[in-house]
Amino acid sequence: MARRVPQSTSNRYPIRSMPHKVTRYPAEWEPQSALLMTWPHPESNWQQEPLAAESAFVAIAKAVSDSQKLVIACNDEEHRDHVDTLLRQAQIKVNRHRLYVAPSNDSWARDHGPIGVLEDGNALLLDFEFNGWGNKYPADRDNLITQTLHAAGAFGHTPVESIDFVLEGGSIETDGAGTLLTTRRCLLSPTRNPNLTPKQIESQLLERLSCRRILWLNNGQLLGDDTDGHIDTLARFVDRESIAHLQCNDEDDPNYPELDAMVRELHVLQRLDGEPYRLVPLPCPRLIRSNDGEPLPATYANFLILNDAVLVPTYEDPADALALKILADCFPLRQTIGVNALPLIHEYGSLHCVATHLPRGVVQ
C-alpha cells in the first residue's frame, strides 16, 4: 500500500465542472467493440524488415480475435490481400476481422488512431492531429488514417470529430472517472502544440476529453524513448484505485534515476476522495540494445487490455514471468497472455503502441 503523504502543489488542480451533456472518456478495461491496428509494410518507416515483425502482429491479432473484432488498416489492395492470407493461415475466422485500405507511414495505431469517448452513452471518436511525435518522423499519411477509415465505413455510423490539437493516445491514461494521468515532458513539449501555453493545453485536454483533473508527472522517460515520455511506457491505471508502474531497484541501471523520481511522484498522488493510490510495481527488463548499440525502451507497462484478456509484452527476459504474474493478479477476471515483443521493441515500441481500442457501439 502506498504511503499517505500530502498532495504536492504540482498536481493540485481545480476540479472542472462536468458539462451538461454527459460525456465521458472510458477506461481501457471497460467494454470494447474492436481493436484497431495498422499493419506494417515495406514502404513504412520501420527500420528493420517489416515482415520480421509480422509474427508479433499475428500473435496479437489471434489473441484479440478470441475476445473481440479487429479493424486493420492496410497500405493498399495488394497489402490487404497479404494480411488476409496471414490471418487465414493463423486460422483467424473471417468474421472476426475487417480489412480496409488506408495508406500509412508507420504502424503505431495507438498514437495516430482515434480516441473514443462516450457522449450520452453513445460512442464518439475524436481525431486529434498526429505529427510524428513532435515532427520526428513523417506522419502525413498516418494523420489521415482515421478519416480514411471513417469514409470507408470502418466505424459504422459512429461520428468522428476532427480536432486541431496534437495528441497521441499513448500519452494519456484515464481511470474512466474523470482523472487523466500524463507527463509534462510529452504533452508540454514545444514541438506538439507550440502556440498554446501550458494552461491552454491543460484546458484543451480537460474540455476535449471531458475530464475533471489532470495528474502530471515530471519524471520517468526511458532511455531510447522517442515519444518524450509516453505514460503508457511508465504507469497505467489497472482500476480506479490502483496504478501499475515500472520500478527499478538496480541503482546501476541507467534508467534508475528517472524511474526512482517518478515513483516518488506517484506516492504523492491522491484519488479524488483524498486517499492514496494503491501502487503496483512492475519489474524492469534488462536493458535491450538495438543492432547499433542504442538502448531500447522495453517496458512491461505497455500491456494491452482486451474484453477478456490482458496481453503482456515479453522480452525473453527472466523478469517476464514475474510481470505476467503481477498483471494476472491485477486482472483476475481476464486471461493473461504473454506476447513476444522483441520485434516491436527493436522499432522502439511495444504491444500497447501498435493497437488502439474502440469503445462499445463502434463496430457491430
**Domain boundary assignment for the chain:** 20-359
How far is the C-alpha of 304 from the C-alpha of 279, rounded, in Å? 19
- State the pLDDT confidence band at 43, using cuts at 50, 70 and 90: confident
> Which three three-digit cell numbers place residue 225?
524513448
- State the pLDDT confidence band at 49, using cuts at 50, 70 and 90: low
CA angle at 178 for the pair 172 and 179, rounded to the nearest 5°:
50
Q: What is the mean pLDDT of residues 211-228?
A: 96
Of 125, 130, 109, the C-alpha closest to 57 is 109
Amino acid at 8: S
Of 216, 232, 87, 102, the C-alpha closest to 154 is 102
Q: What is the mean pLDDT of residues 288-292?
A: 91
Whether the Cβ atoms of residue 163 and residue 124 lie closer than 8 Å to each other: no
- State the pLDDT confidence band at 302, using cuts at 50, 70 and 90: very high
Which has more confidence, 264 or 51? 264
> Which range is least confidently modeled, 10-19, 145-154, 298-307?
10-19
Please provide the average confidence, as pLDDT, over all residues in the chain: 92
Residue 272, CA atoms < 13 Å, CB-side half-sphere:
16
> What is the structure's pLDDT at 5?
33
pTM of the model: 0.92
CATH code for the domain defined by 20-359: 3.75.10.10
